[in-house]
Amino acid sequence: MTQHDDIPWDELAATAKEAMQKAYVPYSTYPVGAAALLDDGRIISGCNVENASYGLTLCAECALVSALAMSGGGRIRAFSCVDGAGTTLMPCGRCRQLLYEFRAPDMVLMTVSGIRTMDEVLPDAFGPQHLA
């Protein structure tokens, strides 16, 4: 049994797919859903929300972090993100930084190349510890 065998990856993927179905994507028609397991056992989700002013579009990870704050906070233990076909997506660099801010120390992500730690997908990251 590895350190992360208790992560309900199938449930995270299903929750991400459900969130993806709620995406607002009239411009790109590229829905994305995300789900995270928190350190208190809750699962939260988010979807992308586009805007006619493309730069204002919100990624699914942004919606997820907003849901985290609105639901009482916590830290992300595990994360999964999918596209409209339910295929695993790797968060972009901006979103990796956003997730890093709210990670649990042992956070892992389902990626296109398997389960990876946050430190593997965002090595030498800048974070709150640099501002203390």
92: left (phi over 0), alpha (psi -120 to 50) or beta: beta
> What is the distance between the alpha carbons of residues 19 and 100, in angstroms, rounded to a whole number?
21
Active site residue 61: yes
Active-site choice (11, 18, 50, 61): 61
> What is the distance between the alpha carbons of residues 88 and 108, in angstroms, rounded to a whole number?
14
Residue 97 and residue 59 in contact, taking contact as beta carbons nearer than 8 Å: no
Cβ neighbours of residue 62 under 8 Å, at least 6 residues apart? Answer: 46, 95, 98
- Phi, psi angle pair for 90, to nearest 5°: -90, 130
Active site residue ranges = 61
